[in-house]
Chain A
Amino acid sequence: MDFNVSADPPHVVEFRKEVATWMAEQFKGHEHLRWSASWSTREDAEEYKFRRGLAEKLGAKGWLFPIYPKKYGGADLTVDHQMVLETELFKYGLNLSHVFYTLARIVAPVLIRWGSDEQKAEFLPPITRAQICVWQVLTEPHGGSDIANCQTKAIRDGDHYIVNGQKTMVGHHLPPDYLWTLVCTNPQGKRHENLAWLHIPANLPGVEIQHMYMMMGIKNTVFFDNVRVPAKYLIGGENNGWKVASTHMELEHGGDGRIAADPLVERVIEYCRNTHIDGKPIMEDPRVRDLVADMMIELNTLRRFNQLIYWRRFAKKPHPYGGPQQRYYQRMLRLRNGERLQAIMGADALEQNLSVHEVVDFEYAVRTGPGQLHGGGTLDTDRLIFARRLGLGRPTTEKAPETD
């Protein structure tokens, strides 16, 4: 049993020094942006520009996807190197998954699993080198969590697909270069066997994107009006979209793993030490300490779940229900922490502009509670998948989809 994420084997000792030195150089003159990593609402143009630039520099070295072959934008390194990068980036509040706003962390492994050699060679490097931004575009207005009930049609026409339909509540405030999406190739076909996966250039004629102003920030509706998509953008072959979707969703729904911890509780403790009532810091108040204890224990649990999933993913150990369990737990935890934050700091927890927020907005953390209960499928789909993986009420258990 070894929980240490920085127990460097000999072959990465020098690499850690190299990464640490390199990161320090990148942040020279930008030290105030050290913790600008969270997907919060505080980010300004300077922060975004810096992070995007940093991602490109990391990508150019193959360090965003270090274990991938160089020809796919990786660095031909080991999982141990990847852990060095994760832990060194975390010293700056960053991690490989979220250097800037792109869904590369999910899209790239799905391409590795399902793309042809030509597709990997062409599509992967711009993604893994952080040169482009990809949105996942799955939810439809009437489909919700039932993404197999896909109404966006892609009808083959020679060497193109003609795409018509609408996806909603997707993306964010910055424009995409590619739309990573599920489409229906045969409206009369059998469920799950009538789907295809497309990697659609966002600049094709007929693609229109409209902002939606929502609880977690800006989302979008994407309209496809007779968009002619070259067939080379079909991922995983004809009518194989559901298998591609399964890999994608396993990674999105908790199966990707993580070794960085959530810094929220440290910020809460800092707040509690600096806030005085009746001449005493509220950190001395037993009621506040009990709330902080629960928050801390649950965030520790989440860190351990993430770490375990990460290890199992890269050590290729089966973990059938780890993903849905993590995802359900994480969402309920955020909801509980939102209430705890309010119980600890009163209305300060609802304020966006407190100077104490170096790492995370407390307001963002509160809003994330109810705001992220459903993104990518509801809580109920998490538990549904969990039940199938355990074989509840069934003679057989469902396996987790393959992820690379």
Chain B
Amino acid sequence: MDFNLTETQEMLKKVAADFVKAEVPAHQMTQWYKNKQTYQPRLVKKAAELGWLGMMLPEEYGGAGVSTMDCAVVFEELGRGPVPGPLFTSGILSAQMIFEAGTEDQRKTLLPTLCKGESIVVPAITDQAAYWGPQAVETRLSKTPSGYLMSGTKRFVFDAEAATSFLCAALTEEGKVVFALVDRNSRGVSITPHVGFFVSVAEVRFDKVVVSPDQLLGPSGASWATLEAALDKSLPILSAYQVGATQEVFDITCEYTRTRVVFGQPIGRFQRVQDHCVDISIHLDQARWATYETIWRIDSGMPARAAVHEAKAVASDGYYHGTNYAHMVWAGPGTDYSHPMMAHSVLAHTLYQYLGTPGHHKRLMMDALYPRAI
């Protein structure tokens, strides 16, 4: 039993923390989130220079070959920004999918450019926003003499605007879910950013997009299980990012209780205000240690699927509820879109949905531990 970070991890953490301070100052960050300009190419370029894109991949594919925990330490700090952009979608999830299921040729051509930030591959998974299982993949892949035509509408594509290509789930005529790489500029692809209480999300429409057989992931398009395997490695990184974001919300909120004076005293002297901070801390630490234990399981080679779902559920719940409790402390000023709290609040709601709600992942956790008979 040892809950220390290694020296390497402490170093990675410091580099990421310095990056957030220098590149994502709060006044700048709030404007990005307020104006829905969360894709900042400059940040992706710098992240690539620091080796964070695809960092869990082996070095031969452009990665840094680090452990899950090493990577999580970086993403936790990035969450404190919260640093926006496709660092997770492309650098972790797509990278893992291509690594898991791509042909050797695909790995060699796609992954190094992804790691350099020259290409940004964004997963486009379900058509319905309301569900994240394979049943919600409705985009069709119809056979043509030379390949396929892809048609469908992905309602919730995170980081779509940053994409140079999409890793798109589609149903074959045989009813199997496969994945295809589709260039953003292909004829028939249109991207419509969503307006609402979420951020970095767009609807991506594929209208009879021509797909050649070599655009399929792997020799035959891989399968839903490919995504599941990639999620086993990737979701804990997203959980760590949410832990970092919740930590930031907790820290700025505790500090506010010391400086904000009403009724003649700092608000932190009011026990009801204290209670909100206690609740944030519980959500924060619940998420932190669920995430770390999951990552420890992965890095130790133990079965981790149930833990992965548990950590995603708890981390999304934690960021969401932690932010809501923080709103109780911040009151009016925290609801101004120019305030860091609003960036967190909008992002917490977005990540609560992204790749499945806490309820969805709790059910997957139960199914992994106690499979249903039917």
Q: Is the CB of A1 within 8 A of B372?
A: no
A-B contact pairs, 16 of them (CB 8 A): A1-B296, A3-B296, A3-B297, A259-B1, A283-B370, A284-B372, A294-B362, A300-B290, A325-B282, A387-B274, A387-B277, A392-B269, A392-B277, A393-B268, A393-B273, A394-B258
Cα A219 to Cα B360 in complex, Å, equals 45
Q: Is A89 an interface residue (CB 8 A)?
A: no
Partner of A392, one of B268, B295, B314: B268
Cα A308 to Cα B292 in complex, Å, equals 12
Q: Is A48 an interface residue (CB 8 A)?
A: no
Given contacts A2-B1, A290-B359, contact A387 B278 (CB under 8 A): yes
Complex: chain A residue closest to B309, CB-CB: A293
Interface-lining segment among A93-101, A107-115, A119-127, A378-386: A378-386
Contacts of A259 in B (CB 8 A): 1
Cα A190 to Cα B221 in complex, Å, equals 78
Q: Is the CB of A305 within 8 A of B273?
A: no
Q: Is A304 an interface residue (CB 8 A)?
A: yes
Partner of B363, one of A4, A290, A310: A290
Give residues 43-87 of B contacting A (CB, 8 Å): 69
Cα A56 to Cα B275 in complex, Å, equals 43
Q: Is the CB of B282 within 8 A of A329?
A: yes
Contacts of A307 in B (CB 8 A): 1
Q: How big is the B interface, by class?
A: 35 or more
Q: Is A158 an interface residue (CB 8 A)?
A: no
Q: How big is the A interface, by class?
A: 35 or more
Q: Is A346 an interface residue (CB 8 A)?
A: no
Cα A286 to Cα B372 in complex, Å, equals 10
Interface of B is mostly: helix
A303 CB to nearest B CB, Å: 9
| Given pairs A300-B290, A300-B310, A390-B254, 15 additional interface contacts (CB within 8 A) | A1-B69, A2-B296, A83-B1, A290-B362, A294-B362, A301-B289, A304-B289, A325-B278, A329-B282, A383-B278, A392-B277, A393-B257, A393-B258, A393-B265, A394-B268
Chain B, 258-282, contact with A by CB distance < 8 Å: what is the 0/1 string? 1000000111111101110110011
B293 CB to nearest A CB, Å: 5
B312 CB to nearest A CB, Å: 11
Contacts of B265 in A (CB 8 A): 393
Q: How many A-B residue pairs have CB under 8 A?
A: 122
Contacts of A293 in B (CB 8 A): 362-363, 365-366
Contacts of A392 in B (CB 8 A): 254, 257-258, 268-269, 273-274, 277
Give residues 219-258 of B contacting A (CB, 8 Å): 254, 257-258
Contacts of B296 in A (CB 8 A): 1-3
Cα A394 to Cα B255 in complex, Å, equals 9
Residues of B in contact with A (beta carbons under 8 Å apart): 1-5, 69, 254, 257-258, 265-271, 273-275, 277-278, 281-282, 285-286, 289-290, 292-293, 295-297, 299-300, 310, 313-314, 359, 362-363, 365-366, 370, 372-374
Q: Is A289 an interface residue (CB 8 A)?
A: yes
Q: Is A354 an interface residue (CB 8 A)?
A: no
Q: Is A10 an interface residue (CB 8 A)?
A: no
By CB atoms of chain A within 10 A, which of B69, B297, B314, B366 has the most? B366
Cα A23 to Cα B273 in complex, Å, equals 50
Cα A325 to Cα B374 in complex, Å, equals 41
Q: Is the CB of B5 within 8 A of A1?
A: yes
Residues of A in contact with B (beta carbons under 8 Å apart): 1-5, 7, 83, 259, 269, 280, 283-284, 286, 289-290, 292-294, 296-297, 300-301, 304-305, 307-308, 310-312, 321, 325, 328-329, 380, 383-384, 386-387, 390-395
Cα A370 to Cα B231 in complex, Å, equals 40
Cα A384 to Cα B267 in complex, Å, equals 14
Q: Is the CB of A1 within 8 A of B292?
A: yes
Complex: chain B residue closest to A7, CB-CB: B1
Contacts of A294 in B (CB 8 A): 362
Q: Is the CB of B290 within 8 A of A301?
A: yes
Contacts of B257 in A (CB 8 A): 392-393
Cα A200 to Cα B2 in complex, Å, equals 40
B355 CB to nearest A CB, Å: 18
Given contacts A390-B254, A393-B258, A393-B268, contact A3 B362 (CB under 8 A): no
Partner of A292, one of B266, B281, B314, B366: B366
Cα A286 to Cα B281 in complex, Å, equals 30
Cα A289 to Cα B146 in complex, Å, equals 47
Contacts of B3 in A (CB 8 A): 1-2, 308, 311-312
Contacts of A391 in B (CB 8 A): 254, 258, 268
What are the 7 A-B residue pairs with the smallest beta carbon separation, nearest first?
Answer: A393-B268, A392-B268, A387-B274, A393-B269, A393-B266, A304-B289, A293-B362
By CB atoms of chain B within 10 A, which of A1, A83, A300 has the most? A1
Q: Is the CB of B271 within 8 A of A325?
A: no
Given contacts A311-B1, A325-B282, A383-B278, contact A304 B366 (CB under 8 A): no
Contacts of A328 in B (CB 8 A): 278, 282
Q: Is the CB of B267 within 8 A of A393?
A: yes
Cα A308 to Cα B300 in complex, Å, equals 19
Partner of A311, one of B2, B310, B373: B2
Cα A15 to Cα B213 in complex, Å, equals 61
Cα A300 to Cα B290 in complex, Å, equals 8
Cα A316 to Cα B2 in complex, Å, equals 12
A261 CB to nearest B CB, Å: 12
Cα A301 to Cα B286 in complex, Å, equals 6
Complex: chain A residue closest to B286, CB-CB: A301
B342 CB to nearest A CB, Å: 23
Cα A384 to Cα B268 in complex, Å, equals 11
B13 CB to nearest A CB, Å: 13
Cα A379 to Cα B273 in complex, Å, equals 15
Contacts of A310 in B (CB 8 A): 1
